Structure 1
Amino acid sequence: MIKHIVMWKLKEEAEGADRLANAREMKRRLEECAQIVPGILSFEVALAQPGLEATYDVVLYSAFEDKAALEAYAAHPTHQALMPFFKAVREGRQCMDYEV
């Protein structure tokens, strides 16, 4: 199994919207990817919550059966379509994949 965790720090304003609106839009778009390929075992998107420690605005926590499933997800057109918007609104991105 491969765990895939990605965190995004967003710009204060981008694409005509503020940080919170863009975070909500990222979450909506990511959730559309939850079942796009076989081999996705879990897929959770969360936003930073007031009152809880967070240095990033959006996190994706997902698990895939194997590396091939993760690669299929990454190459899928629905996932690829996210990239222009995500690149436009993000200030920073961190990613970690690991096998368990």
Structure 2
Amino acid sequence: MIKHIVMWKLKDFAEGADRATNARKMKEQLDACANIVPGMFAFEVALAQPGLEATYDVVLYAEFADEEALKAYGEHPTHHALKPYFGAIREARQCMDYTI
């Protein structure tokens, strides 16, 4: 099994909207990617919450059966279509995949 964790720090203002608005839109778009490929076992998107420690604005946690399932997710048209918008609103991105 592969765990896939991605975190995004968003710009204060981008694409005509503030950080909070873009974070909510990003979450909605990511949520639409849940279960788009076979072998995806978990898919959770969360936003930084007031009062809780967070250095990034949006986090994705997903589990995949194997590298082929993770690759299929990365190449899926629904996922691929998000990249231009995410690139325009992000200040930084961190990703880590690991096998358990």
Question: Which residue does 2:5 correspond to in 1?
Answer: 5
Where 2:95 maps in the other structure, the secondary structure is strand
Percent pairwise identity: 71
- TM-score of the two chains, using structure 1 as the length reference: 0.99
How far did 1:16 drift?
0.3
Q: Pairwise mapping of residues 87-98 of structure 1 onto structure 2 (< 5 A)?
A: 87-98=87-98
Segments of structure 2 that go 5 or more residues without pairing to the other structure are: none
Question: Which residue does 1:69 correspond to in 2?
Answer: 69
How far did 1:35 drift?
1.1
Deviation per CA, 1:31-70, whole angstroms, max 9, x where unpaired?
Answer: 0000110000000000000000000000000000000000
Distance (Å, rounded) in 2 between the aligned partners of 1:5 and 1:89: 19
Question: Which residue does 1:49 correspond to in 2?
Answer: 49
- TM-score of the two chains, using structure 2 as the length reference: 0.99
Question: Which residue does 1:26 correspond to in 2?
Answer: 26
Question: Which residue does 1:99 correspond to in 2?
Answer: 99
Where 1:44 maps in the other structure, the secondary structure is strand
Where 1:24 maps in the other structure, the secondary structure is helix
Deviation per CA, 1:8-51, whole angstroms, max 9, x where unpaired?
Answer: 00000000000000000000000000011000000000000000
How far did 1:79 drift?
0.3
RMSD of aligned residue pairs (Cα, Å): 0.3
Distance (Å, rounded) in 2 between the aligned partners of 1:40 and 1:21: 28
Where 1:73 maps in the other structure, the secondary structure is helix
